[in-house]
Amino acid sequence: MIRDMSDDFYSIYAHGFLRAACAAPAVRVADPAFNLSASLVMARRAHERGAGLVVLPELGLSAYAIDDLLMQAPLLDGVERAAGELIAASAELLPVIVAGAPLRHAGRLYNCALVIHRGALLGVAPKTYLPNYREFYERRHFASGAFIRGETIAVAGHEAPFGADLLFAAQDQPDFVLGVEICEDVWAPIPPSTRAALAGATVIANLSASNAIVGKADYRDLLCKAHSGRCLAAYLYSAAGPGESTTDMAWDGQASIYENGEKLVEAPRFAREPQLAIADVDLARMNAERLRQGTFGDCADLESEPFRRVDFTLAPPRGDIGFLRAMDRFPFVPDDDARLSELCFEAFNIQAHGLRQRLEATGLKRVVIGVSGGLDSTQALLVCCTAFDQLGLPRRDILAYTLPAFATSATTKSNAWKLMKALGVGAAEIDVSPACRQMLADLNHPAARGEPVYDATYENVQAGARTSLLFRLANQHDAIVVGTGDLSELALGWCTYGVGDQMAHYNVNASVPKTLIQHLIRWCAADWRFGADAAPVLEAILGTEISPELVPGAAGDVPAQLTENFVGPYALQDFNLYWITRYGFGPRKVAFMAWHAWKDAGAGAWPPHIPAEKKRAYDLADIRKWLGVFVKRFFATSQFKRSAMPNGPKVSSGGSLSPRGDWRAPSDSSAAAWLAEVERIP
């Protein structure tokens, strides 16, 4: 019976995840009864952990390194009895069990994977590629299953599909489609699992023996990572471990789980005790990637072969069984110093290269930029300096202006001046307050008469005056205006149409999210990349609360507006931005992942240099509230601003919102479907 899990928010299985396990059990050479018992220990451990799949090693019911004992009838009879007992014992277990065994069929012997679930033998997949070089002699004993298609096999009284053309599809978990291959198959130029993935398999199980020699584990790891990435699939690799014969070889029990080019988990190698590697793989993510990458479907049209689908019902557990997956709080920002430094180097140089090319193409040698003393204009100014240095142009031709108005704080104005001086750019100040007062008077706005009416008109008069001035300065100095607005602001519509955070001649920050901009600036400050004088100013800017500074504060230098009070914490909103735009996930799944990422501030890794006060937790109510804000602002009210974005380089793999790049959408669409999902979050 297919169960509806749409109301089961706390279950991983309700959100397209599969808990998968790879086992490296103990084996005893040529002892099927012992090996059955050891395999059941691992299957039961996987069951207790809520796993829907457990993969055992190649020829696990007989052991792999037994040479001509494979031709002995007593051994093969014992293997078949063990297979029958494994099928019977599986009736009480949740996971699909994939076990390795030598099986006879039509007068030949095959190296096989048995796919077992809930007391039934779903199918048997024979090994396609048989190694017969160096220490391997499989062709001495086995026949290849390359041409076995459309057949059936009898195993211990169970008749089941047999062939290299089998997929196993969970009817109650539509993202879970299993393909199987065995050891050498993945080392072939075109692994059988490639065609299985093209036919719809989202999970590939590889039952392997694969002895240990120096350097081989790294190569296997590289092979599995690359193959999972190319196939847009989860890949489970289970190698033989303790107990295999060491007459001529040694074994390390490498049990690993991969997803789209990334290793999620690996069991310790050379362990004395049986090992179980277990992780929650995101199969919905794999299908989302396939939908997006049209070339995957094109390749399926050209290369796929007919596969038989064997349907089964997984019947996974309901409710919260935990989440066995590292969920980054900051998907745009790596958690370790080395990777973060590498990302900052790349992002910074992509931004600088974009501006450099634009200047070379136009033949212009000056830029105009507004510097507020906030994060975005700081990052854009640093990029300008880098591009000018690379072009051999003097920094004094970066015409930087601080443009104070009614609500500019002394802190941000001071930081703007300190930064401009430290960087050696052409620095100037133009107070736009008189121009703003004149426009408010022309509009007969109450603020022109001294009334404290701080509406959108009041705010945007200031923003518009600054932008108009920057564009006219660019005309005057034969320059282009460099924009400062970032990806997060564009996503939330926290920018004014036609002004500097939305409009420019070229915007270097257009696809850089707020959480990454903070680390780019910190990266520059940490190593004094712009000199000893700039570093403390950059740190001061990083410590300043984010504010548009368009409404006068009531307490001196304290801003009246804090951006995150209006649009939500950028940490949460960048999380939402990444998963909704990059993969098309719905709000319920995004909320589920955000809850696991953010519910415990003391758990998991944080990117380097996150201030202690920022290491906070968010409960599900917070997550639901701000996700609702994101959905409404992103889908219902802001697209018209993104449709008129200026040029700017794509920086992050998380995507951009340029209508010429990653995101095209109508400006008048409804957000009802997304908001309805938000309402269904507990």
From the CB of residue 641, how many other CB atoms can be counted at a distance below 10 Å? 22
Domain around 145:
17-312
Shared domain check, 439 and 293: no
Catalytic: which of 22, 85, 127, 184? Answer: 127
Share of the chain above pLDDT 90, in %: 85
Predicted confidence (pLDDT) at residue 311 exceeds the cutoff of 90 = yes
Q: What is the CATH number of the domain that holds 141?
A: 3.60.110.10
Q: Are residues 274 and 349 in the same domain?
A: no
Q: Domain for residue 297, yes or no?
A: yes
Report CA-CA distances (Å) from 411 to 364, 418, 447, 504, 561.
33, 11, 25, 26, 15
Q: Are residues 246 and 141 in the same domain?
A: yes
Chain segment 229-272, per-residue pLDDT in tens:
999 999 999 988 888 888 888 888 889 999 999 999 999 998 88
For residue 7, what pLDDT is reported?
79
- Please indicate whether residue 299 is annotated as part of the active site: no
Q: Are residues 343 and 306 in the same domain?
A: no
The whole-number pLDDT of residue 555 equals 63
The residue from 297, 312, 327 where one domain ends is: 312
Closest by CA position to 479, among listed 393, 404, 416, 405 = 393
Instruction: Identify whether residues 297 and 343 lie together within a single domain.
Output: no
Residue where one domain finishes, among candidates 296, 312, 328: 312
Task: Measure the CA–CA gap between 263 and 385, rounded to whole angstroms.
Answer: 38
- Tokens 């121009």: give the residue: 435
User: What's the pLDDT band for 332 if we cut at 50, 70, 90?
Assistant: very high
Range 171-182 average pLDDT? 97
Q: Is residue 8 part of a domain?
A: no
Mean of pLDDT values over 512-522: 95
Find the catalytic residue in 22, 58, 524, 677. 58
pLDDT at 3 over 80: no
What's the total number of domains in the chain?
A: 2
How high is the pLDDT of residue 556? 62
539 an active-site residue? Answer: no
**Within this chain, do residues 398 and 293 fall inside the same structural domain, yes or no?**
no
Annotated active-site residue 22? The verdict is: no
Residue 490, domain member (yes or no): yes
From 183, 231, 385, 436, the catalytic residue: 183
Mean pLDDT to the nearest integer, 316-325: 94
Residue 5 banded pLDDT, cuts 50, 70, 90? low
Query: Do the domain assignments include residue 319?
Result: no
Residues 301 and 441 occupy one common structural domain: no
Q: Domain for residue 197, yes or no?
A: yes
Say if residue 21 is in the same domain as residue 81. yes
The reported pLDDT for the residue numbered 232 is: 97
Determine, yes or no, domain membership for 326.
no
pLDDT tens, position by position, 365-408: 999 999 999 999 999 999 999 999 999 999 999 999 999 999 99
The answer, yes or no, to whether residue 558 has pLDDT greater than 80, is no
Which 3-state string (H, E, C) describes 595-661? Answer: HHHHCCCCCCCCCCCCCHHHCCCCCHHHHHHHHHHHHHHHHHHCHHHHCCCCCCCCCCCCCCCCCCC
CB 571 within 8 Å of CB 515: yes
Same domain, 233 and 350: no
pLDDT at residue 1, as a whole number: 39
Q: Rounded mean pLDDT of 84-111?
A: 97
Could you tell me the pTM of the whole model?
A: 0.94
Q: What is the CATH number of the domain that holds 674?
A: 3.40.50.620
Decide if 208 is inside a domain: yes
Sequence-ordered alpha helix ranges (H) in 206-336: 216-231, 283-292, 294-303
**Boundary-marking domain end, from 312, 327, 353:** 312
Tens of pLDDT, residues 422-458: 999 999 999 999 999 999 999 999 999 999 999 999 9
**Over 102-116, what HEC string results?**
EEEECCEEEEEEEEE
Regarding whether 382 and 292 lie in a shared domain, the answer is: no
User: 530 and 632: one domain?
Assistant: yes
574-619 pLDDT, tens digit per residue, is 999 999 999 999 999 999 999 999 999 888 889 888 888 889 999 9
365 in the same domain as 298: no
* 4 domain-assigned: no
Write out pLDDT tens, residues 649-673: 999 877 899 999 889 999 999 999 9
